[in-house]
Structure 1
Amino acid sequence: MTRTDGRVLVAGATGKTGQHVVEALSETPFVVRAVTRDADAADSLRTQGVDEVVVGDLLDPEDAARAVADVDAVVSAVGAAFRLEDIRGDLVDGAGLVNLIDAAADADVKRFVLTSSIGVGDSKGGLPLSIRAILTAGGVLSAKERSEERLKETSMDYTIVRPGALTDSPATGDVLVGEGGDSVRGSIPRADVANVLVHALFTPETENRTFEIVSQPGLRDPPNTLVDVEWGQIPRAEPAE
């Protein structure tokens, strides 16, 4: 995105990564919209910087369509934890995100930034075998891969970001970006992930590409196929008079 106004939908805004995304976007000229299943979360989201709240479940295609109405871009920070209820039913990472992607494409949304995970698709080697086995059994990785593939099939300009293991540590500002599957291994603070997601909106060279990211302090093994991204500048809102 290069415009300095418009509307951005944050999916997963109530999650730990999504909250960082909202914080970053709240300082821009964009109208920030969030979608949440929890009606009680609306007031909290507004205090965090969200301008518009859509209460709905992404597993419902009609709710997904309402969420993307009149939206210019989507940032998805959706992520399902590994739980028994995830195994028994559709994961938001899978069916829910496919609904959101389809709705965004139908609504002519131009830009979509998707949070996935190292371990998905050709990056499976970047995930420790024990963790990969758990996430595979729970359907998490296949759900995320389904979302990635669906997004690539649309005409939207997309960026797919695959972070390593997520931590709640403060942002490091020192992110290693890989491209090409098994490129980097390790961990990364959620705040760093959010920073990458928001910067991707304003960095045309990230369009229609898939990246793996970890922080320099969280790097586990020597990296492969690192790329140097010239991140665009995030526009800032003018101070209120």
Structure 2
Amino acid sequence: MTRPGGPEQVPETGHVDDVAGLDPATTASRPDPLVIRDAATGAAVPDAFQRLWNPHRMAYIDAGRQGEGRGHKDDCPFCEAPHKSDEDALIVVRGDHAYVLLNLFPYNNGHLLVCPYRHVPLYDEATPDELREMGELTQTAMRVLRQVAHCDGFNIGMNQGEVAGAGVAGHLHQHVVPRWESDSNFFPVIARTKSMSQLLGDTRRLVAEGWPTGA
């Protein structure tokens, strides 16, 4: 298709499929902006994702690559936490065989971790006393979060081993994540971003103050 003055021009901001008269081979060869390409040939090409830059997490990732905090007791954050103050370690309560602290990278406000003091990686390697107290602490955590955070449900579980997604694979820990009816909105689903509305220190204080004495 031509016009006076030369060949039909494709507007730079238009989509190639919207221009009539083009060869189908030309249309097929145009890259799809929603397809992710390798860095060598597709750098800076738009795709379907937005970016929330978190460069401070690189130290955490690098430590994991080097094995720190995963298989070594000497640099395990869950072994180090009990030696710090509750405020510095974000510990909510200390039991005889296990303790509860806030997740430093929470999925939701009030995201708790229940850990044995002993550096043991897998659930089937924990002692009966450790399992019993972890279960009791988990139950109490649910009751306290219902009371102070008014949540509607929970995700509770463990990732066993790096292949299963455990961030600190060397030390057993159970996640207790409070959920609300409105927390799966467009922001995490579409923007892949979680909005945290409360500081970790304030959350720790709120849960610790709501924890029943002797529980």
Same fold (TM over 0.5): no
Which structure carries more strand by proportion?
Answer: 1
Q: Name the TM-score, length of structure 2 as normaliser.
A: 0.28
Q: Name the TM-score, length of structure 1 as normaliser.
A: 0.26
